[in-house]
Every structure is written in C-alpha cells, then in structure tokens.
Amino acid sequence: MKRLAGFLAVILLLTGSARAGELEMESEPEEEVGEEVFDESSIPTSAEGLDIPAPSAILIEKETGQVIYEKNADERLRPASVTKVMTILLIVEAVDSGALSLDDTITCSAYAAGMGGSQVFLEEGEQMPLREMLKCIVVSSANDAACAVAEHIAGSESAFTAMMNSRAADLGMANTHFTNCTGLMDDPEHLTTARDIAIMSRELIKHEWIKEYTTIWMDTIRDGQFGLSNTNKLIRFYNGATGLKTGYTSSAGHCLAATAERDGVEYIAVVLHCASSADRFESAKTLLSYAFGAYTLASPLPGEALPPIPVELGRAKVVQPELYEEPKLLVKKSDAGSLEVAVELEKSLTAPVEPGSVVGVMTVSLGGNTLREVPIITKTGVERLGFWDVMADMLSLLFYGER
C-alpha cells in the first residue's frame, strides 16, 4: 500500500500540483531504440562528413581535453537529468576525500521521498547505504535518491545546489547555473552548455571507480526486490561504453553525456536538445565512433635516452635530466607516424643545481608546426663544492691527473 501511495503521489505531482503546473518534471520516457542506431558501418572519416541530428553537441578526448568537434557547444540549454553528473561528481569527491564512505547510511527525508519523475520510490525514513543510493542515481537517474544524498552531504538541497555552482565555477563552467540537484524541473534558470557538461563529465571519469556504477546495465536494490535498468542504452549496445548520464524533459529534449574507451583512449560526447532518444544515441555514437576511427593518443619520446649533463664545481660530476612529464597528444591516425621529436639540452651546468631545474626542452612537431614543448628537468640536485673540497680536487688533479 505504501508503494501504491507513493506511486499515486507521483501522479499527483506530475499532473496536479501548483509547482508542476509551472515547471515540467523530468521522467525518462519509454521509447524504443533499435539496435541499428548503434551500428558503426557507415561512420564518416572526416569532420566535414559529420552530420548529426543533435542541435547542440561537443566531442572531446579525456586525457588532453582537446575538442575534436563542436556544434552550438556554448548555447545555454536545459540539461534535464544530465545535471546529475555534477551531483555524482560531488558525491565521488566526498568519498575520495574521506568525508563520506560508501558504507554510510543515508536516510530519506519526506522532501526527498516526494520527488517525482525518475525514482526508486523511497519512503520517508527509508535507509540505504550510500553505495546503493549512488547506484540508484547513476543507473536509474533516481531523483529521490539524488535528493536524499544531497541533503545528507549539505543539509538541504539548496545548500547542495550552492556547492554544485561553486564546483562548476572552480572547473571553469562559465555558462552554467544550477537551481537543483536533479534536473527534475524545467526551471528556466537551470541552464548549462554542451561544453560545460563535457568539462564536468571529464572531471567525473577521472575517478575510475565510478565506472563500476556507470557501466551497470541491470541490477537490483532492496535485496533483489526492486529492479534497476540503465537509461543509457550505449552501455548495452556500444562497444567500450563507460557511461555516463541521460536526461529528458519535454523542454530540454533528449540529452546525453556519453563516454567510451577503446585501446586506452577515452572520449566524451555530449548531445543536447535532441528530438528523440534515437537521435541522441545516434548522435553520440557517430561522434564517438568518428573519434575512435580517426584519432589516436600519441606519447612521443626522444629516440635515445637523455645523456647525463656534466656539472662544474659540484659534489657530483653529472646530473641526470628527465622529461617533466610524458607528453600525450591527440593526433589523427594518419599523422601519428609523422611526428618529429627534437631535444635541446644544456651542455654543462655549474653547481649548485636545484632538483627540478629546467635544463632543456623536448619539442614535438608535425610538418614544421610545433605541437608541444616539454621541459626537461634535473632528476636530482647537486651541491656546490666547498673551498677545501676545491683545494682537494686541485691537488688530486695535480698529482693523479683526475678529481
């Protein structure tokens, strides 16, 4: 009876409440999407050939953040439940910081239980461990679970929303403003862009363990009594899919932040305001498959090991240089074999030499155009010889011909 009452309450919220009369509530419609939508047999090989139905979209690579394709990527639109990418990010960051544990018990408030749209019909006072609540949010886009966790973290949904906006600002999401943690309502002030969604999606998938949730196709909660099915059909039908989040309202249209990884390279495709669920999956699939087919992530290195650099007046005769970081460059597969690497190093150094001192540069170029310059630094430091050390060296050189 409680489940039935909860269901009836949802219907009332959707059809009769004053709030719902002003703002449309989010609920993913049951829409058939055929497997042919995910077929990769006719993917364009050039960006000019990309013709996707999504009105707003962007495609980026995870490691570098490089934009491969964009279409009206800075148009401010309603994101529907793709909003939850930020909600999930804050939860994941709280877990990784130690502020939360996946074993923490989350208690559902009356307010959270009253959420409409996509939900798992939590009852007031019902408790679940965070790991189960997180699964409900990620897999089934559960608004009630999202609100319950938001209240647990911040005390109220409004306080949590303030945290969302603060984190968005930290990430440089300049065109985003959240007014809730779910995307449940089509609030005209709740806006973001494809580019900003790609930014927060990239930040989220840096936490690899969230993919244990985002790759779930079907699961259960309440000891197997309640089934969950992922609204992201890429998880079932697209090779390498790793997530991430769907969304829908009649005003926002069909939205999707999609991620996929093959051969160690991961791409993020965001599509907004699509006319149908098939259009959003077709658009995301086309973008992701184009990236996998046309691009690769290269890590160019010097052809030979970097030689030690002599050090004058130092307690050590040489110091070993190393790359500040291993460069990762997104390049077209057709260009990967044409990358050129040049190394410039100091011929000698004079002590003292601090650890991490810049002593050279590695330049990666293609067709005469510089793609990346990577500093070369000293692996360790070298102290300068003292006066008596210099005298001892001179005597050694005088009598033995060496230091």
Q: Is 212 part of any domain?
A: yes
- End-to-end CA gap in the chain: 91
313 and 205, same structural domain? no
**Structure confidence at residue 47 (pLDDT):** 81
Q: Is 56 part of any domain?
A: yes
Low-confidence ranges of the chain (pLDDT < 70): 1-31, 387-403
Q: Which one of 234, 267, 296 terminates a domain?
A: 296
pTM of the model: 0.87
- Among candidate residues 102, 144, 206, 172, the one with its CA nearest the CA of residue 3: 144
Q: Is 348 part of any domain?
A: yes
For the domain that residue 378 is a member of, what is the CATH number? 2.60.410.10
Provide the residue range defining the domain that includes 74: 23-296
Q: Is 27 part of any domain?
A: yes
284 and 319, same structural domain? no
362 and 330, same structural domain? yes
Q: What's the structural domain count of the chain?
A: 2
165 and 35, same structural domain? yes
For the domain that residue 248 is a member of, what is the CATH number? 3.40.710.10
313 and 288, same structural domain? no
8 A C-beta contact, residue 354 and residue 322: no
322 and 186, same structural domain? no
314 and 286, same structural domain? no
Q: Is 71 part of any domain?
A: yes
346 and 198, same structural domain? no
Q: Which residues contact 254 (CB under 8 A, 6 or more apart)?
A: 246, 247, 248, 273, 274, 275, 276, 277, 279, 280
Which secondary-structure segment (H or E) carries 144? helix 143-154
Q: Is 350 part of any domain?
A: yes
289 and 338, same structural domain? no
**AA identity, residue 47:** A
pLDDT tens digit sequence for 121-161? 999 999 999 999 999 999 999 999 999 999 999 999 999 99
User: What residues act catalytically?
Assistant: 81, 84, 141
Q: Is 194 part of any domain?
A: yes
315 and 275, same structural domain? no
